[in-house]
């Protein structure tokens, strides 16, 4: 079903069963397969491939040669019914690849709202990208990776499968991340190491000095106190009673599969 206000270039190929909302534009030589739903106001430029099942929200911009909703590169994938969900107001730049999930995990890859996925970024199967993130040029999110809200993964960085990049953290360019990056932390290198807190990013997003001081104390407990993580956890839990933002540290430590960068 294609809304009457949608603008579809005559050279675009739209298979049966595609749902296209109001004021959507589809550029020349784009291919949209059965099982795709595109929300109102989204702009799909030329030479884009979108396969499904995929749901794309409102007011997204998808640039040329992006491949969205293709089957994953996991050797275990055998054509199972998996899907991709993309939220609203995302910018998906040239040659970005976003793959559907696998039945070995959640069965769905998720991209939230207001994200910038830069040229040739790769979003693998079962990845969860939060909101307001920046995924840099040629960066790679391996399968099952989670990227928290407001996090940045800069150009040419690679995130190992099953790793978590915490909210408001910042991964410097050309980094190899093989363990979880706690929230708020600056990390860079091969393998990536912590280099303090993303203070500039936190200030830009409205964190005031008292809260920044609490986050800094929590960081020092983890990285500079000499305590084991088992000893640090109750300290963080107590701090989180006054500063819920500190609770993000506790949540990651409790759920980490690969351990945190050291």
Q: Which residues are catalytic?
A: 125-126, 143
In terms of residues, how long is the chain? Answer: 262
Question: Please, what's the b/e burial string for 74-109 (b: 16 or more CB within 10 A of its CB; e: otherwise)?
Answer: beebeeeebbbbbbbbbebbbbbbbbbbbeebbebb
Distance CA 161, CA 171 (A): 16
Question: Please, what's the b/e burial string for 172-191 (b: 16 or more CB within 10 A of its CB; e: otherwise)?
Answer: bebbbbbbbbbbbbbbbeee
CB contact at 8 A, 152 and 201? yes
* Of 64, 62, 60, 54, the residue nearest 17 (C-alpha): 54
**CA dihedral defined by 199, 205, 208, 213, rounded to 10 degrees?**
-30
């Amino acid at each position: 079903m294609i809304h009457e206000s949608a603008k579809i270039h005559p050279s675009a190929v739209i298979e049966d069963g595609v749902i296209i909302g109001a004021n959507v534009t589809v550029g020349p030589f784009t291919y949209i397969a059965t099982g795709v739903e595109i929300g109102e106001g989204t702009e799909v430029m030329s030479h884009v491939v979108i396969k499904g099942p995929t749901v794309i929200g409102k007011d997204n911009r998808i640039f040329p040669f992006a491949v969205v909703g293709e089957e994953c590169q996991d050797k275990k994938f055998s054509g199972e019914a998996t899907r991709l969900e993309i939220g609203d107001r995302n910018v998906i730049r040239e040659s970005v690849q976003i793959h559907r999930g696998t039945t070995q995990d959640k069965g769905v890859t998720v991209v939230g709202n207001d994200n910038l996925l830069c040229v040739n970024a790769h979003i693998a199967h079962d990845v969860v990208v939060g909101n307001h993130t920046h995924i840099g040029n040629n960066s790679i999110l391996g399968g099952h990776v989670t990227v928290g809200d407001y996090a940045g993964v800069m150009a040419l960085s690679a995130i190992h499968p099953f790793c978590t990049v915490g909210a408001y953290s910042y991964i410097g360019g050309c980094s190899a991340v093989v363990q979880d990056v706690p929230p708020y932390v600056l990390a860079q290198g091969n393998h990536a190491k912590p280099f303090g807190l993303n203070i500039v990013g936190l200030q830009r997003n409205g964190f005031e000095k008292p809260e920044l001081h609490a986050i800094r104390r929590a960081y020092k407990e983890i990285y500079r106190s000499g305590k084991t993580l088992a000893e640090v956890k109750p300290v963080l839990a107590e701090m989180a009673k006054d500063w819920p933002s500190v609770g993000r540290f506790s949540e990651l430590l409790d759920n980490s599969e690969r351990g945190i960068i050291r």
